[in-house]
Amino acid sequence: MPAKTNYFGADESIFAEKSLLRVSHLPNEDRIIGRDDELHEIGNCMQDGLQGEAPTHAMIYGKTGTGKSLCSKFICEDLVDRAESNNVNAGYVYIDCTQQSTETKVCREMAHTLNDEETTDISVPYSGISTADYYRRLWDILDQLYNIVVVILDEIDRLDGDDILYQLSRARESGKMNDAHIGIIGISNKMRYEEKLNQRVKSSFSKRDIVFSPYDADQIREILENRSDAFYDDVLNEGVIPKVAAISAQEHGDARKAIDILRYAGEVVDNSDGETVTEEHVDMAQEREQEGRIRELIESSPNHSKFALHSIARLSLRSEKKRPEVEGSDVYEMYESICEERGSDPLTQRRLRDILDEMKFLGIINRERKSKGREGAYTTNRLLEDPEMVLRACSEM
Ligand SMILES: Nc1ncnc2c1ncn2[C@@H]1O[C@H](COP(=O)(O)OP(=O)(O)OP(=O)(O)O)[C@@H](O)[C@H]1O
Ligand SMILES: [Mg+2]
């Protein structure tokens, strides 16, 4: 009988434990690299919680992939364990504010996660009760079961409004709870997040700021080496991890992307039935990582942002230079013709400028004001990613 086609890739994998390279993998303490100071800072804020007293709130800032979520969860897990040995009931909830963005949802999620219905006899229905009711049940649950609770509000800048922060930071003071204390760990990669907060929230949510900086090459190398058990022995060529680390440190200092590149490099080899990962595979993996990132970003952008990016990519390809500067007026012209192709009405020049400013903020393009002497000024746009890749990603939409 002819062998049946295997659609799942090679049977013999070079991966021994691929899950070590998954983003969801939570490394234990000895695998958290280069974040001792930051862990101590968060620990210091939460310290009083160990005695069942009110912790200091913390706000963690830092670019993507710098270990903010990882370190926050780690400290909370540890806090719960250590508090228990002091006979203090501690708990924590991790809230991803991109998923739970409204006051009601956060409140419900907290009540739901922290509740133990058998003990409290309080139910937390999914729907059918008001926000005020969710709050009432939450305070009751906290009072009955805990001395202290820490709430991690990850990507806190994605919350709709700041009422929840106000409520959580004032719950005790306003007499809604009598026995439990709440500590808040807010996480954001927008340094200016606080400017948006309401004055009354600013004054009740007093906290310490902690900044996570991007990783350097040595730290990324160590993070990757600590996960090299993901591969069987001798699968990784000697230069592979240092290369991934060097590229990553130079481009972003993002541990997540570095781990992704290493995993992709392994997958390239696995899919071609190879046995060893070499530096060439790293190049291929890096391209795939970049493309994936751009694609994701483009996919989540509104249509007119896609058209704008498409315009700059097309114009860039017309030039001999690798990363040419293209003028705003040319971009607008190209943008209009792309809108026509796609059967969509173009936005005004002013709106397009806002879109381009946003892309600058996201790090996809660079924009620069230049003077034309007496004739005034103009703005140039320079694509920071490979135009062919951007074009591919845009035209598949
Ligand atoms: N110091 C570290 N040691 C080991 N692994 C790390 C370290 N820092 C980050 N990682 C790993 O890198 C990935 C990203 O880390 P994490 O999710 O904590 O980043 P983040 O700062 O929260 O990023 P984002 O702002 O995008 O949410 C995770 O898989 C995590 O396990
Ligand atoms: Mg995070």
Q: What is the pLDDT of residues 97-134, one digit of tens each?
A: 999 999 999 999 999 999 999 999 999 999 999 999 99
Give the helix ranges, DSSP H, for 98-194: 103-114, 117-120, 131-145, 163-170
pLDDT at residue 8 in the model: 65
Joined together, the tokens standing for residue 62 give: 């830092």
pLDDT digits over 182-223, tens only?
999 999 988 888 888 888 898 888 899 999 999 999 999 999
On the question of pLDDT at 10 being above 60, the answer is no
What is the band of 260 on the pLDDT scale with cuts at 50, 70, 90? very high
Task: For ligand 1, say whether the CB of 387 is within 6 Å of any of its atoms.
Answer: no
Q: Of 209, 214, 230, give the one whose Cα is nearest residue 31.
A: 230
Going by alpha carbons, the residue nearest to atom 9 of ligand 1 is 67
Q: What is the pLDDT of residue 252?
A: 86
- 356 band by pLDDT with thresholds 50, 70 and 90: very high
103 occurs within a structural domain: yes
In the chain, the number of structural domains is: 3
State the pLDDT confidence band at 389, using cuts at 50, 70 and 90: confident
For a ligand 1 pocket test, name from 37, 94, 256, 263 the mutation site with the most ligand atoms within 8 angstroms of its C-beta.
256
| Domain match, 288 and 323 both | no
Q: In sequence order, what are the residues at sequence separation of 6 or more whose Cβ sits closer than 8 angstroms to the Cβ of residue 29? A: 74, 78
End-to-end CA distance of the chain: 43
The yes-or-no verdict on residue 165 having pLDDT over 80 is yes
- Is residue 140 located within the same domain as residue 89? yes
Query: Tell me, what's the pLDDT at 364?
Result: 86
Separation CA 143–CA 182 (nearest Å): 11
- Give the C-alpha separation, 21 to 292, whole Å: 17
Does residue 372 contact residue 378 with C-beta atoms inside 8 Å? Answer: yes
Residues 313 and 265 in one domain: no
Question: Which domain, by its residues, includes 245?
Answer: 216-298
Mutation pick for ligand 1 pocket among 20, 35, 69 (CB with most ligand atoms within 8 Å)? 69
Closest among 359, 363, 368 to 328, alpha carbons compared? 368
Ligand 1 nearest-atom number relative to CA 22: 29
Q: Is 45 in the same domain as 157? A: yes
Among residues 252, 282, 298, the one where a domain terminates is 298
**Within 10 A of 203 (CB to CB), how many other CB atoms are there?**
12
At residue 30, the pLDDT reads 67
Q: Which pLDDT belongs to residue 268?
A: 93
185 lines ligand 1 (CB under 6 A): no
Same domain? For 179 and 222 the reply is no
Write the residue with the smallest CA distance to atom 26 of ligand 1.
Answer: 64
In a shared domain, residues 90 and 132? yes
Percent of the chain at pLDDT above 90? 70
Report the CATH number at residue 67. 3.40.50.300
Listing DSSP states for 265-290 in one string gives: HHHHHHHTT-S-B-HHHHHHHHHHHH
